[in-house]
Structure 1
Amino acid sequence: MTDDTPPSRGLAAARRTPCFARYAAQRAVTAACRPLLDGLGLMPRYLVMLVLRERGGIPVKELAGALHLGHGTVSPLS
């Protein structure tokens, strides 16, 4: 099965969706914060620290769920 939609047309349609706007905003915020957080050595550990501050000592599985990440992604951070 092939998709005959030209790539530029599909992208234009995607950009009109609320999901794309949210995705673009999230990327812009991350890009704006990254230089500061990288300079402090906190990205992505910063997100882990926020969750741990909010929830206290929690299992890695719960931490991964809170961050919407896989267990293997979070394990090296803990």
Structure 2
Amino acid sequence: METYLTTDQLASLIHYDARTIRTRLKDAVLLEGVHYIRPFGGRKLLFIWEAIQRDIGSASARMAPNEVMHATSIPMANGRVAHG
């Protein structure tokens, strides 16, 4: 059984601001159908806690040692980094 969380509930669990989740993480690292759903096709988002737990560290784990994040680095969906 999956555990569904609202944006505010997820924010308190992963220690991010709810606004950051909605504007920066959603659709960049949290993907619709994988990490969250829109029940009944509405506007409300429900996040799937088990999927987020499974994938939360995968982007940093995939980053090669020579791909250090800098202030001008832009994380990409494939886990790599674009340097701007």
Same fold (TM over 0.5): no
Specify the structure having the higher radius of gyration (Cα): 1
Q: Using CA pairs below 8 Å that are at least 6 residues apart, which structure has the higher relative contact order?
A: 2
TM-score by length of 1: 0.26
TM-score normalised by structure 2 residue count: 0.25
Q: Choose between structure 1 and 2: higher strand proportion.
A: 2
